[in-house]
A and B are shown apart, each in its own frame.
Chain A
């Protein structure tokens, strides 16, 4: 692994200060929480940085209550026994493997780098395809998934927590040199596999906050994957509602595009005129039509897109929609 200098700030202020100093001196850096995403990438020399700032020792980042989850919270501690929302607990239990969940964190999962089989490869491998748009090493290389376009990166976001926090209406608190801000998670992600999210240079995610009515929601997360351990989602659909109240229904998806999405438009279209028995297939089909996966994960995109219908149907039936 390429060597880097690891910084260990013990307070938010110190973290921001280190970041500001590095920015001023023109040094590149990454934030690291559990490191289960960043460090494997470093090993493959995917965008390694000379400096890494760890959030591990910042008390606020480790703080957990029913409604506030610090970014350093380990995925393995997101359990119902710990008072975590059942939907979040369910989604967390499906992430990677039990070993990885003991290191991986909430913040890391939400800020997960987008993935693509032309990108998540060793340096030698990527060199032999003359690089790709996402990590072009200064060559201006084309996208390998959809050639002849080098304006957009279509790497896939494969985090499991995001659609669930989104559906529950969570907000995230971002800390940066310019000050703090709290935004809805749905506005956190930004289309383009390289940009990924709205984090500005020097800014990091401190915590996720659930709204006061979050525990009134029942939810179900359907994750498509080949193996019941290790694998990132190939498609993921979440549905939540306040039991019996169709107007509260929300559906979100992940692993189908470069960002997780909340499907407000499709839900709104059907919620008004919900008919028991016939709406679920129509809504599921509408969700399927609204996503456009590309060929850069383990399973082919047409399959992933097709089964969105099944996943949506199952999520809706699981929470009691009829």
Chain B
């Protein structure tokens, strides 16, 4: 017999002894029971909450979903439901789709950074034997973009190219070799334009801005978006007791997902487009295709293949998806386009290269009186998600802290580089790093422990941030306490020898974006899930949630299994096709578990009700007295009186056939009304705290992160294994950004490292030992209490490492990544300034607690009690940012504080003192200039 993976039927020898099933071979008992176990399993009381009579502890209080817990799968570590497909190599990714008669498409990319296309002659291409179809920008002139407010992309350049690698034309041919040969035969006349690479230059007026926004265009600059936000009492900032001021320069980073982009397009015999693509957000692609191709959405079926990693890099509708569809329409045959790794970097959408300036102040009792942030971010050639990123860089940096005032100026500029976009931790990562390092610096000035400084300034559960975000559950305090304990912080901080350091950082992230960007949330839900249960008892769940490896399919399957008390192998999730899945916003802003699982619970509840009603008919006991457990429904007080799940199901199906239910999720009304109030709004927020330990090779400047204690508040871990995986994976990705990864643009403006050898993603050797710590704060609105765990855990690792490096060598680095040359330079500078011969004689920073320490510890203790009461809703009083400063939460702050600001535009007198990005406010729009 040959070795390797075998399809069923298998021989009896393949039976496992550990109780797990063998892939491809399911030993089902005869029809009647369903599931792989012949008899009903007992209720697992360890996974049924205390509040409903189980043994699962609930330190953070009870939850509205407790009564539908069945102890089946929620809270248990399960392997992901699609893992068998992946580990056996049978998952079908973008490039695995092979349709009969396919042709191969290739994209002609711009060799220039910025140029007008004067003419394109395709006649030589068309004449090449084997070429099937050719397309250029003129074949699809409609614009698209991921955000409705910034549609600035075309399938291929219509008038000008905006960065090297921008799409110019495409061709499909019988073979890849012919298609590549054809690319050399395009005759193009270019008129080169003066490119802009430097983001600071993006603020200046130029002859030919990269895009033109008509009357909304800001003078003749390349500013795509500017933001101003000012909240709170600015007078608190004067005469600070401690302050920190840092200017950061952060390089752009890329997601580095394993699977390069790939797409297959096919117009079926009925003239409908079938498009296969590894998309995080198939729905946006669906919309964009409709716009670009001038075809109604119902004539397009977007099929999401397995996604080989996304991290935000596969959430835009992409021009190559349009190209494939255009070519396939012309060719009358399926077209497949697969990217080379280099092309992945040309489409980019990675994290914005940024210049960030953070000023912060604290008053004489250690309260944070002001955060002052200025962020200039480099958007590259297109808008992508940048409109939102411009806000996130400011507004997501405020919490988890209670602030006296907050001032933010941000600007995103176009440059002639591949477009930046959304990447894991979207918009929040860079400023978070700057802010957390600033807090560390202030703690040092005040001679206090930075963890205590944080603990004494946290917003409590059920409160509002300074910009008006509604905080519900909040496990920040517990997270900090856990990492302090786990890392033995108090024995190590400021006490280790030169080269060894320990540092802390916190994080705060949205769990789902509060506003669906394409529609009014009051009129159409964020997420819809359909469930169908047919005669066989199997449950088919239709959702548009895009599993990108984070386990969304598993999460949806889990909650349905939990509500219906069925083994998870009876739940079949269908999420690949837009034809069958209800409209869903897909996988971004860490929304899927929160929104889709909530929708799935609602749908499952409807099915549950129908089955219980049928059981009532059979047993004669009211559903309130019936227990739903592993494929059986029985009377609470006499388990012998019961009926099998299938029997009850068939009873329920008597008149109508298969059971069908639909569930939806929409977010509650929340947040303020100011301009930009919706950016950063989320139905819940995740919190995290990390402590990182580093070893710095002082002579070489090499930083190695050795240990990380990573606590993340995900509300409730539906699947602890998956949560831990996300925490460890986030550590890896964040470590790359802080230590080695950067998109290097050379003196000619070319990306110097568009490949995985020179773009330095940490290898397994660079991975520290990560101790994932799950904090469960039980979110009142989350499914079974859950919040996000996919993005937030990335945030704290950056500042934790930067702070640890300070602890190790006493130098505050503010240029990321901390490559050895940067660190070496810093160490040498310090060595020279101290007039030392050997850098090994550098002093390590030490801490002797000042008088402020006691004040903070006292306050933290009080707040601990306060937070506990609020978390368990024993205290339901109002709390808004400002209470710490003595304000009354029941009266609008602007009514009780003179000078309490809530501004979204600078006052004229402020214009002179704005930071780098703030300079964008010195420019007038074309409309204000009286032009059109």
A residues near B, CB below 8 A? Answer: 3, 97, 117, 121-122, 124-125, 127-129, 144, 224, 226-231, 298-300, 302-303, 306-307, 310
Contact = CB atoms under 8 A, between A and B. Distances in A.
Contact of A124 (B111, B740, B753, B764): B111
Given A117-B758, A303-B825, 18 more contacts: A122-B340, A124-B342, A125-B342, A127-B111, A128-B111, A128-B750, A226-B820, A227-B740, A227-B762, A229-B765, A298-B758, A298-B760, A299-B820, A302-B821, A303-B821, A307-B700, A307-B820, A310-B699
Contacts of A302: 821
Contacts of B701: 303, 307
A124 B180 CA distance: 11
B217 interface: no
Nearest to B821: A303
Contact of A228 (B700, B753, B765): B765
Interface in B729-774: 740, 746, 748, 750, 752-754, 757-758, 760, 762-766
Given A298-B758, A306-B824, A226 B819 contact: yes
Contacts of B758: 117, 298
B526 interface: no
A228 B821 contact: no
B765 A227 contact: yes
6 contacts: A117-B753, A122-B342, A302-B821, A303-B820, A306-B828, A310-B700
A228 B765 CA distance: 6
Contacts of A300: 821
Nearest 6 A/B pairs, CB to CB? A228-B765, A303-B821, A128-B111, A229-B763, A310-B699, A227-B763
A287 B378 CA distance: 42
Nearest to A43: B340
A228 B111 contact: no
A2 to B, nearest CB: 9
A127 B109 CA distance: 12
B362 interface: no
A224 B765 CA distance: 15
A128 B164 CA distance: 8
Contact of B764 (A117, A229, A306): A229
B760 A303 contact: no
Nearest to A235: B700
Contacts of A129: 748, 750
Contact of A226 (B112, B340, B699, B740): B740
A230 B453 CA distance: 42
A300 to B, nearest CB: 5
A121 B164 CA distance: 14
B706 to A, nearest CB: 13
Contacts of B754: 121, 125
Nearest to A97: B763
A227 B760 CA distance: 8
A128 B165 CA distance: 10
B750 A125 contact: yes
Contacts of B752: 117
B699 A307 contact: yes
Contacts of B740: 226-227
Contacts of B340: 122
B819 A230 contact: no
Contacts of B765: 227-229
A229 B762 CA distance: 9
Contacts of A307: 699-701, 820, 824
B821 A299 contact: yes
Of B740, B754, B760, B821, the most chain A CB neighbours within 10 A belong to B821
A128 B342 contact: no
Contacts of A298: 753, 758, 760
Nearest to A1: B177
Contacts of B700: 224, 307, 310
A253 B824 CA distance: 21
Contacts of A299: 819-821
A227 B766 contact: yes
A302 B820 CA distance: 12
A299 to B, nearest CB: 5
Contacts of A224: 700, 820
B802 to A, nearest CB: 18
A300 B744 CA distance: 12
B830 to A, nearest CB: 15
Contacts of B757: 230-231
Nearest to B739: A226
Interface in B281-324: none
Interface in B309-346: 340, 342
Of A128, A144, A299, the most chain B CB neighbours within 10 A belong to A128
Nearest to B750: A129
Contact of B112 (A121, A125, A128, A231): A128
A188 B149 CA distance: 63
Contacts of A117: 746, 752-753, 758
A5 B112 CA distance: 35
A3 B760 CA distance: 30
A257 to B, nearest CB: 18
Of B750, B753, B754, B765, the most chain A CB neighbours within 10 A belong to B750
Contacts of B764: 229
B282 to A, nearest CB: 30
Of A122, A230, A298, A302, the most chain B CB neighbours within 10 A belong to A298
